[in-house]
Structure 1
Amino acid sequence: MSELGARASGQGRIFQTSGDQYIQEHHHHYDAGAGPLFGREVVSAATVTGPAAPDSVRMPLVGRAPGVLRNREELREVLGAAVAGPGGDIHVVHGMGGCGKTALAYWLFTSALRDHGRVGFWVNASERMSLRAGMLAVAGDRGAAPGELAAASAGQRAAADLVWHHLDHSADPWLLVLDNADDPTVLEDGAWLRASGRGVVLVTTRHATSPLWRTPGAARHPLGVLPLDDAAQVLCDLAPDAGDLTSARKVAERLGRLPLALTLAGSHLAHQLLESWSMDEYDRKLGEESTAIVDGGASGYGGGTSRHLVGRTWQLSLDTLAAQGAPEATTLLRLLSFLAADPVPLSALAPLARGEIVAEGLEPALTPGKLEPALRALLDHSLAELVEADGERCVRAHGVLLDSVGAGVPEGQRAVLAEVAAELLETALPEKGAEPGAMSRLGVLAPHARELLEKAPGERTVALAVRTVRQVFDSGDFAAALELAPGVARQSEAVVGPEHPLALEARHVEAWALTRMGRYSESEALHRSVLGTRELVLGPDHPDTLSSCFGLTWPLYLADRGEEAERFIRRALDGQRRVLGEESPEALYTWANLLEMLPHVGKGQELASEAEACLRVCERALPPDHRTTLIARHGYTDGLRVLGRCEEAEPLARRVLDDYIRLQGPDHPVSLAALSLVARIAHGLRRFDEAVATLEEVIARRERVLGAEHPFIVDNRRWLTEWQAEARP
């Protein structure tokens, strides 16, 4: 079986995607006078065929179809019967990296659509963030409303439940491919992996023994290397002029009959420019250095050696590039090996291309004039590909290739490469308070910051990773922040120690994410731990310590422990005023949040004076429509309602509602909270018909956004029953 075998001619090149499950081939043509990659687009849309954009779930992320699918007849028969049947099946295809799982999935995907009338969905399951984004896109395809998707994305309702609800109610039968699920924990102990009578699920993974694969209705299918004759035929498919089957058998055996290695070798043989090796000559070149395959990952996740499969195969291509005058391609690939096997925005590399970041000490040197040819060389020799991610053009190299190259980086170059990678990411991260468009880049950059910390642990990479997690949280993606924060915190503690301010900040963000996700007891425990350590290490009045006081306020308040919450928020406010200033953004934000608590802790008599003073300072010291000012107005208005002053509260509530809808949209949770406040004020004014109608609207919209079992919905339904009784004559 060819992994993704196909012939290319002319300027055609065979490419591979990120993650060691994808082998792709597409043709990439450049105009003779094309300008640099960093700047205007140089690839004509009319002359490029390649993989679908990463944000598509209706097309496989594999480029072109395999020219010939070798072997696997028995498994193809089983999978073909599954998509021809009624559905309800889960099939897990497992094996070592590069053994052809993705090519098999592509064949099944095409067959399901073409021959059996199923809708196909393809989701990259290599990481939690890519899985979550892909599955939510599937829900959107199956009819989920924008408000529902926004709530799931923000962690305000169960994302997996939303997706599977819409899959279970799909009007069309479907096939769902969860590709590259090498770490089963990404599937959240089975939350994302379910059987449905409306469809068939296919999982590709290197992990053979996960308990998840014993999910009821799941069938496991091992996939190994190819039989020798089929492996040899793959080489002949790709490079028919390089030798006969006898010669191909020798190369195939030396490469361990792994489709990944065979595809790259065949591509190399088919696209040589300065030399034209036969398969016999290629076999002799391979014999100069061991290419033995070590499989530590097919039977259990975590075997790092499984990725170091056929380094010599790629090294031959790099040697060819060096002989052609592009030795810097090796340096660029080494630099990419310090990042994740995910798309790297070209804009992140641009400062290096423009000379704004100077990479001193690299050998061969990666000077501004050399980066462009090095990148083109990697693209032309199937060592990287151009892809789109979140609207940005990116370069992506295969994970097995990156691991192989990374293992061979000379010790004297490791520190230099790590410093350059860190500076590139630091420059690429958006600044605090950047526009939403800029903040969207975090999804592309976050995996690289985490990977760099793992590969080059140090205080600088700790700071970079913690900054990234903080920005993900501040962007409102609380679920993603909670996925990132614990791992970054553990790594940070291992590098700089658990009492270092950076490690404490990572835990602080994790505690906040727990609060936003409704896990109040866990949040309280972690906030208390961070607060205690900060008090000992930084002192009781350090801004970070005061930030921990404010953070601890909310799990206490939301768990109906108002008096404790008030003590901590007042400690935070007093300290921030003393240390940072009366009109500091931190002090004003804490003050605005205090307004919400006052009537609920028996301090309603203080509300009017506190709110008047707070709003006066906010409107003077902060920009118009600042979130702190809106929080203050909302808290004051709700306080007036609690105190029975509904006539005063009504116009303020409508202003708050209008402001939130204008700034956040009508289905944002804060907008619905403001609409709920309008309904409660109408009830307080005994306008029961109006109150009931408004509350019914709140319930209907909140159910779409938050889910039918959310505590807010439970309260709203109880109020509705009571108000309807009051409205009856």
Structure 2
Amino acid sequence: RRDILAILKQYFSTSINKRQQRKCFLLHGTGGIGKTQICLRFIEEMSGHFSHVFWIDASSVVTIQHSICDLPDAQSYILDGSPESALRWIGSLKDNYVLVLDNLELLSKAELAKYFPPELRGNILITSSNYTNWMSSMKSYDVRGMMKHEAIELLLKAGGLDPHRMDLQAEASVIVERLFYLPLAIVLAGVSIASGAASIGDYLKKYLNFYRTLAQPKFKGATKCDMTVYRNCELLYGEIQQRANSNDSHQSEAAKSAIFLLAIFSLFHHEGIMKDIFSYVNIQKEEIEMGKENLSLATSQQDHKLLPLSDAATWDGLFFEEGIRLLASLQLIKLVSPDGTYNMHPLIHEWARNRMTKDESEWYCSKAHAILASAVENQSVRFRKALVTHVVANMEQSRLKKHTAIGKYLDDAYGKFLWLFMEQGYLSEAEKLGVQVLDARCRILGEQHPDTVMSKGDLAVTYSNLGKYAEAEKLQVQVLDTRNRIQGDEDSHTLMSMDDLALTYYDLGKYREAEKLQVQVLEARSRILGEEHSHTIMSMGNLALTYSSLGKYTEAEKLQVQVLDTRSRSLEEEHPHIIMSMGNLALTYNNLGKYREAETLQVQVLDERSRILGEEHLHTVISMDNLALTYSNLGRYTEAEKLQIQVLDARSRILGKEHPHTIMSMGNLALTYN
């Protein structure tokens, strides 16, 4: 593919006029033609030319947003955690970056524009098989099949055959022509030959046998190139099935594992499938045997014959490894990271999903739900973040295939997914799921059941995070009333509900109502848990903020001094809660006119946040703004001006000039100039 690489290199290396500095290039062509591989090779060979490479999985809106927010280079600069602010940061770079949008299919031209950095600079490279939406607006190249001699060489190499033998070259020539010189189909054909599923002599006969197998409505609409990949996949699948029926127990177990994992992988997102997702099926046997009414899907639906446990009730990875090894050897999956992360080509992924019957699809989908629900627990935040795309893909398949509606067990798994979406900031998805979970629990368990009440509280928190405070208030009043009646007004769940409702009142500006509840919570937690318990300290901090909003600064100061003192004794010096407590107390000092005390704390806060989070992190910029305000109050306008210019510059670049925080920064700087 040297000709395509040469075109890309020439285009991205040539200077263009200053009015439009951005360069956009679209590589389009049928799936399996090698567009992603061309991009990877191009980036590798041009590594010295680009300052930053941002690779985005563009197969869906969720994966685009997830990839943008997960860019390692951008994370410390993202001021509000949104894709928009990450894109603004990328756009603000003066260097020669390249943004690769790989496997872009579903967006219109207008929708696509939302995921371009705002400044007209940098480089954008797109791969797509659905190119009609954007082709007219950018430079493009139609990637066709391989050159005949390249295709023959690839087939013989993949098949483990001598590429110099003329007789083999002649047979290979007929095969690659039948496969339309499509790289993916050729590789799979070679693997079929190497694995013993076919010989080069009888390959075409076996390949053509799958015309009838794939002539089903669910494959309707597939292109002739797609079908070359699907038929080769069927040929390899037949080899796996043959091994599964083998008398060799080791070979048979590996093949059965491969069949199971192939189906499960097809019901996750096609990229970033982590081995560790499967290791969390180690649910303790006694938990399974408890026979609870509301046993979670991850516990009750897990099939430990397929994902077996050891004698210690922990995951036995051997079964998984054997299946993975077979799938990888047949090129149906690809290891992309030494930590055990795998990808499937989108066409192979689609074939594996569509070949299942409706019953098979529903059965495997329930197993995939179980595996993902298990993986949500006991993991790092970063790991859970990587789960989101798989949960979304799995739920979307369940919806498209019209699987059984949410029920008792599925409901419990969805409860975990709701929590995952809330934690990771996918609030719209969390809201939809929360409504579904609450409706199911009301129907199945009744409105007074603890699980129903809990889901009502979860949905209320989601509404709060979305700024739907009136909806949150309505649910939280119901939750608090139910828990007061059933569990008592000093139960830990009741106090938590009281705290949640108080925070919603605070967000609604109902400070008196918030104060009343928070005083109750603080008194109860102080008596029951003790004054230095983390929940008690959190309640003190919340009440102090409410006091500040009510203008009760002396009361706020008293509580905040206590919070800071307790946290300083119990937590490490650089703990985020200590830094946050310092910042809150400093604002109260400001409100009380104690500017020197405020300055002392704010200098510490800014220093710590600059060092730990970086100078353009959200919290650092807020700290800079607060210290500038204190300098103004002290009449030190030159120092205030210096900080406010930094704040305005950061917010203008990353949030945009019309963002409310940017406009507020402009106003603050203007006041300082005055």
After TM superposition, is the score higher than 0.5? yes
User: Which residue, 312, 321, 330 being the options, matches 2:234?
Assistant: 312
User: Which residue, 100, 118, 137 being the options, matches 1:217?
Assistant: 137
Report the residue type matching 2:332 in the other structure.
L
User: Which residue does the alignment assign to 1:179?
Assistant: 102
Q: Report the secondary structure of 1:571's partner residue.
A: helix
Residues 559-613 of structure 1: per-residue CA shift (max 9 Å, x gap)? xxx4x25534643663576599576655643441342343443333533444456
Change (3 A) 1:341 1:554: farther
Report the residue type matching 2:101 in the other structure.
L
* Kept after mapping to 2: 8 A contact 1:235/1:262: yes
Report deviation, 1:327.
2.0
Q: Distance in 2 between matches of 1:719 and 1:363?
A: 60
Q: Distance in 1 between matches of 2:432 and 2:590?
A: 43
2:23 pairs with 1:97: no
Q: Distance in 1 between matches of 2:622 and 2:119?
A: 35
2:416 pairs with 1:464: yes
* Kept after mapping to 2: 8 A contact 1:452/1:461: no
User: Which residue does the alignment assign to 1:373?
Assistant: 322
User: Which residue does the alignment assign to 1:155?
Assistant: 82
Change (3 A) 1:341 1:505: farther
User: Which residue does the alignment assign to 1:559?
Assistant: none
Change (3 A) 1:285 1:654: closer
Structure 1 residue ranges without an equivalent (≥5): 1-65, 473-477, 515-519, 557-561
User: Which residue, 46, 58, 69 being the options, matches 1:125?
Assistant: 58
Structure 2 residue ranges without an equivalent (≥5): 286-298, 310-314, 399-405
* Kept after mapping to 2: 8 A contact 1:355/1:368: no
Q: Distance in 2 between matches of 1:156 and 1:363?
A: 37
Change (3 A) 1:631 1:281: closer
Q: Distance in 2 between matches of 1:495 and 1:118?
A: 51
Higher helix share: 2
Report deviation, 1:179.
1.0
Change (3 A) 1:640 1:545: same
Report the residue type matching 2:200 in the other structure.
S
Q: Distance in 1 between matches of 2:617 and 2:119?
A: 31
Report the residue type matching 2:343 in the other structure.
R
Q: Distance in 1 between matches of 2:130 and 2:222?
A: 6
Report the residue type matching 2:304 in the other structure.
E
User: Which residue does the alignment assign to 1:449?
Assistant: 391
Moved more, 451-460 or 216-225: 216-225
Change (3 A) 1:282 1:666: same
2:114 pairs with 1:191: yes
TM-score, normalised to structure 2's length?
0.70
User: Which residue does the alignment assign to 2:255?
Assistant: 327
Change (3 A) 1:577 1:376: farther
User: Which residue does the alignment assign to 2:304?
Assistant: 360
User: Which residue does the alignment assign to 2:200?
Assistant: 278
Q: Distance in 1 between matches of 2:544 and 2:422?
A: 26
User: Which residue does the alignment assign to 1:202?
Assistant: 125
Change (3 A) 1:201 1:501: farther
Q: Report the secondary structure of 1:342's partner residue.
A: coil
User: Which residue does the alignment assign to 1:676?
Assistant: 625
2:185 pairs with 1:261: yes
Q: Distance in 1 between matches of 2:63 and 2:29?
A: 21
User: Which residue does the alignment assign to 1:398?
Assistant: 345
Change (3 A) 1:496 1:688: same
Change (3 A) 1:200 1:158: closer
Report the residue type matching 1:404 in the other structure.
W
Q: Report the secondary structure of 1:177's partner residue.
A: strand
Q: Distance in 2 between matches of 1:208 and 1:496?
A: 44
Change (3 A) 1:279 1:467: farther
User: Which residue, 323, 336, 341 being the options, matches 1:387?
Assistant: 336
* Kept after mapping to 1: 8 A contact 2:479/2:497: yes
- Count of equivalent residues: 606
Change (3 A) 1:353 1:336: farther
Report the residue type matching 1:155 in the other structure.
S
Q: Report the secondary structure of 2:340's partner residue.
A: strand
Report deviation, 1:180.
0.9
Report deviation, 1:266.
2.6
* Kept after mapping to 2: 8 A contact 1:120/1:175: yes
Report deviation, 1:508.
4.6
User: Which residue, 666, 686, 689 being the options, matches 2:635?
Assistant: 686
User: Which residue does the alignment assign to 2:504?
Assistant: 552
Q: Report the secondary structure of 1:160's partner residue.
A: helix
Report deviation, 1:341.
1.5
Change (3 A) 1:235 1:676: closer
Q: Distance in 2 between matches of 1:94 and 1:673?
A: 44
Report deviation, 1:191.
1.6
Residues 207-226 of structure 1: per-residue CA shift (max 9 Å, x gap)? 4565xx27x83367777889
User: Which residue does the alignment assign to 1:636?
Assistant: 585
Change (3 A) 1:313 1:716: same
Q: Distance in 2 between matches of 1:425 and 1:108?
A: 35
Report deviation, 1:639.
1.9
Change (3 A) 1:608 1:575: closer
User: Which residue does the alignment assign to 1:343?
Assistant: 272
Q: Report the secondary structure of 2:238's partner residue.
A: helix
Q: Distance in 1 between matches of 2:477 and 2:228?
A: 43
Q: Report the secondary structure of 1:278's partner residue.
A: coil
2:520 pairs with 1:574: yes
Report the residue type matching 1:341 in the other structure.
H
* Kept after mapping to 2: 8 A contact 1:296/1:305: no
Change (3 A) 1:347 1:296: same
